[in-house]
Homo-oligomer: A and B are copies of this chain.
Amino acid sequence: MSQTLTLEEIYAPIEKPLQQVPDAILKILSTPNDLASDVIRYFFSGKGKLLRPALTLLGAALKQPRLVESQNAALIRLASSYEIFHAATLIHDDIIDSAYLRRNLPTVNVKWGAQTAVLVGDYLHDRALDVIHTEGSREVFSLFLKTAAEVCDGEIHELSQKQNFNLTEEDYFEIVRKKTAVLLACALESGARFAGAEDQEAAALYRYGHYFGMAFQIVDDCLDFTGNEHEFGKTLGADLEAGVLTLPLIRLLEISSESERKDIVGLFQAGGEASRLRSLLDKIREAKTIEYAFGKARELNAQARRELESFPASPVKQSLDKLLDYVLERNK
Contacts and interface: CB of A to CB of B under 8 A. Distances in A.
A130 B130 CA distance: 13
A155 B31 CA distance: 13
B115 A96 contact: yes
A97 to B, nearest CB: 9
A84 to B, nearest CB: 13
Interface in A114-173: 114-116, 118-123, 125-127, 129-130, 133, 141-142, 145, 148-149, 152-153, 155-157, 159-160
B33 A156 contact: yes
Contact of A160 (B33, B129, B141): B33
B126 A149 contact: yes
Contacts of A145: 126, 129-130, 133
A92 interface: yes
Nearest to A120: B156
Interface of A: prevailing SS: helix
Interface of A: 31, 33-36, 92, 95-96, 114-116, 118-123, 125-127, 129-130, 133, 141-142, 145, 148-149, 152-153, 155-157, 159-160
A33 B175 CA distance: 12
22 contacts: A31-B156, A33-B153, A34-B160, A35-B159, A36-B160, A92-B119, A95-B95, A96-B114, A96-B115, A118-B118, A119-B159, A120-B156, A122-B125, A122-B152, A122-B155, A123-B153, A123-B156, A125-B125, A126-B148, A126-B149, A127-B149, A133-B141
Given A34-B160, A145-B129, A149-B130, A155 B119 contact: yes
A160 B123 contact: no
Given A125-B122, A129-B129, A152-B126, A159 B95 contact: no
Nearest to A146: B130
A119 B159 CA distance: 9
Contact of A116 (B34, B127, B159): B159
Nearest to A92: B118
B33 A157 contact: yes
A145 B114 CA distance: 24
A157 B120 CA distance: 11
Nearest to A39: B156
A122 B92 contact: yes
Contacts of A119: 92, 152, 155-156, 159
Contacts of A127: 149
